[in-house]
Amino acid sequence: MVAQVVAPDLRSLALVLLASSLGALLSRLSRRVVLPTVVCEIVLGILIGPDVLGIAEVDPYLQYLSKPVSYTHLTLPRYAVCRSRWSPYH
């Protein structure tokens, strides 16, 4: 049994990348209103998605890119500090 390779929908992929870039730009337009970038990205994604305008379609490549990522490794300390009372570093 061989899995079939699905060709990526380049138009939808380009629209999603454009929406994420545009979301970053739109969130920084006003200095008075601080709008999180992710809010703009979600709104633009809803607009171009199949529920509103129907411009972008979901394919296996976009499903893979939409999987959540863990950023725990970025918040862990990068070095361990010796807490011994004889340590010169405390």
How far apart CA 51 and CA 40 sit, in angstroms, is: 17
Q: Report pTM.
A: 0.64
For residues 5-26, give the mean pLDDT. Answer: 88
Higher pLDDT, 31 or 75: 31
| Lowest mean pLDDT segment, chosen from 6-15, 28-37, 69-78 | 69-78
Q: Give the per-residue SS3 of 6-70.
A: CCCCHHHHHHHHHHHHHHHHHCCCCCCCCCCHHHHHHHHHHHHCCCCCCCCCCCHHHHHHCCCCC
Q: Is the pLDDT of residue 90 over 60?
A: no
